[in-house]
Amino acid sequence: MRVFRVITHIFIVLLLTITTQVGGLAYMIYLWLRRYITTLDWKRKVFNFGLFIVLYSLLSFVVLPFLASSFYNRKALPITHSVLQPLRMYTYMMNRHYVDGDLYDVLIHSAAQMQKEFPETKTYYLDGCFPLGAKFPLLPHWSHNDGRKIDLAFYYTDPITKEDKNGSPSWLGYGVCELPKIGEENMPEYCINKGYFQYSLLEKLVPQYKKNDYSFDTKRTKRFIQILTNSGKIKKIFIEPHLKKRMKLTSSKIRFHGCHAVRHDDHIHVQI
């Protein structure tokens, strides 16, 4: 039993480290401190859980921002900003919302410009990078490991009223795709036929039941990408070729990401 407990603790530490970067450290501190808890069983369980949450919160929201800005020039993207917000809570709860200082400035400025041109528009970000390390991977992404990349959600309208609609049809932020229309270049089909099974995997895993409640907003999404490409700091933007052509975007910064990645007709990948 002791060996099993040790293996279980090691697994938890590794899992929390991989998924949150500092969760493993918080768990190890918790294991050390809990030896001194002598309350009754049910109170101990409640206290143990609360202790871990407190430790994790202190590391995530107090220590990490300081370390990230001091040593890696990374900033945590805002959580309650009027123009730029996380689409889903897990992004900042798992410390996946850090970006390079220059990228931070571009995103705030671009989102503010969007709200100025389209009142009440909120821009939503998805995965950025972890706060620490030059090459610490942000799974399952290939390249979100240096603070210079961010995924952003599309804009949508109400399919009935045609009015601008904030939010996303995906609970995850990914996986609900704006599919190629007849006659458009179909890179998802091409990549799958080439054997890249992972290319459309998220579309199969993420529920699609809210898809009919949202319509892809070509106008605002196009304008947002134009604002981003106009910035001298932005080097690359990845979206599916059929969307680039549909929105009549011509910037050389907008590129195809390759079949080795996953499809990009459910989000915008931006990097400096």
HSE (side-chain half, CA atoms, 13 Å) at 182: 0
Nearest residue to 101 via CA among 151, 150, 60: 150
pLDDT at 35: 76
Mean pLDDT of 68-72: 95
Q: CA distances (Å), 163 to each of 88, 120, 121, 155, 263, in order?
A: 22, 11, 11, 11, 27
Assess whether pLDDT exceeds 90 at residue 3.
no
SS3 content of the chain, % helix, strand, coil (to 5): 45, 10, 45
pLDDT tens digits, 232-259? 999 999 999 999 999 999 999 999 999 9
Mean pLDDT value of segment 13-36: 93
Q: Has this prediction a pTM greater than 0.75?
A: yes
What tens digit of pLDDT does each residue of 170-221 get?
999 999 999 999 999 999 999 999 999 999 999 999 999 999 999 999 999 9
Domain boundaries, the chain: 2-70, 74-271
Query: Could you tell me the pLDDT band of residue 38, with boundaries at 50, 70 and 90?
Result: low
Angle at 157 between CA 153 and CA 159, to 5 degrees: 130
The CATH code of domain 74-271 reads 3.30.1380.10
